Amino acid sequence: MERKVIFLSFVLIVLITGCGGDESSSASSSKGGNVVAADYSPVQPTSSDAITLKITAVGGETPDYNWIVNGIPVHNVSGKKLNPEHFSKNDTVFCSILIGGEEKKKVGPIVIMNSPPRINSLKISPENPRHGKDISLNTDINDADEDEVSLLVKWFINEEEISTSQVLSGSEFKAGDKVHALATPFDGTVEGLPVNSGWVLVQNSAPEFVSSPPSIEGRTMNYEIEVKDGDEDNVDLSLEAGPPGMRLEGNNLVWEAPEVSKDTSFSIKIKARDERGGETINSFSLDLRATEVQ
């Protein structure tokens, strides 16, 4: 009977000792802290985005962060944010999360995506276009990857798409038309956001004289004046200065030259005016020699 009591007491002592050992081990394992989950944003960072880690349920000490780009540690960065000056397009980024000097979590690989180009400003040049003069775009373009960027352009005249060329021919528009362009930057891989140039109003073009100055055959002059207007406006002609007897009959400048005793020069001015008020003066001199009227 006495042996049985001693045996039970020994078993009880062993059980008590074992419970005390488990409690000590649990406290030790929780002392260093733990990282339950780690993520980053943005999900697909580009060379113009900062990468920021999101850490969930960190216990114990404040974590440290070791950033690595293409296998090379990034020095002087110990926080959970890595700015874009430390990486470029197509780089591979990792980050080790350390607690008490021990790696608890590794985030990555994070592959840096292409950064789309961006148009900072877009203007039509010249700002006051006229028929017959080509117009183009002045642009300020930024690309974080320093890629070569081209422009995908659509030209509109009075809200109708006319051309996709880089330069809009001056023959495509006339006075009173409203012109604008929609430009999209393209770096060879991705397109950036399209930008509208805003409207410009095509200004009136003055008429243009296309005929050569007249001459006299004998004593008679019948000079047919040829004028064109790029805006297809109606054009009126008027004689602003000339010798006595000179007159306009429609588009013909008519004159019966008088007899002169010496060589004489006459100044002539003809004005062409379109229906929008555009004017052009054609000035020339006409020489009359005494021998030509004898």
Q: Which residues pair with 154 in a beta bridge?
A: 182
**Average pLDDT of the chain?**
84
Average pLDDT over residues 228-240: 93
Angle 212-218-223 from CA coordinates, rounded to 5°? 30
Q: Strand 150-157 vs strand 178-186: parallel, antiparallel, or unpaired?
A: antiparallel
At residue 218, the pLDDT reads 73
Read off the pLDDT of residues 267-287 as tens digits, 9 standing for 90 and up.
Answer: 999 999 999 999 999 999 888
* Separation of alpha carbons 36 and 59, rounded Å: 9
Q: Would you say the C-alpha torsion 76, 78, 84, 90 has a positive or negative sign?
A: positive
Name the percent of the chain in helix, strand, coil, to the closest 5. 15, 45, 40
At residue 31, the pLDDT reads 40
pLDDT(8) > 50: no
What number of H helices and E strands is found in the chain? 1, 22
At residue 18, the pLDDT reads 37
Q: How many angstroms from the chain centroid is the CA of residue 63?
A: 43
At residue 33, the pLDDT reads 57
Model pTM? Answer: 0.66
At residue 20, the pLDDT reads 37
Using CA atoms of 179, 153, 172, 203 in order, give the dihedral in degrees to the nearest 10: 30
Read off the pLDDT of residues 235-245 as tens digits, 9 standing for 90 and up.
Answer: 999 999 999 99
Sorted by where each starts, the structural domains of the chain and their CATH numbers stand as 35-111 (2.60.40), 118-201 (2.60.40.10), 208-293 (2.60.40.10)
In sequence order, which residues have a C-beta less than 8 Å from that of residue 128 and are 6 or more positions away? 200, 201, 203
Read off the pLDDT of residues 12-58 as tens digits, 9 standing for 90 and up.
Answer: 333 233 333 333 222 223 344 577 778 899 999 998 899 999 888 67
At residue 37, the pLDDT reads 77
For the chain, how big is the Rg over CA atoms in Å?
A: 44
pLDDT band at residue 260 under the 50/70/90 scheme: confident
pLDDT band at residue 76 under the 50/70/90 scheme: confident
**Kind and range of the H or E run holding 196:** strand 195-196
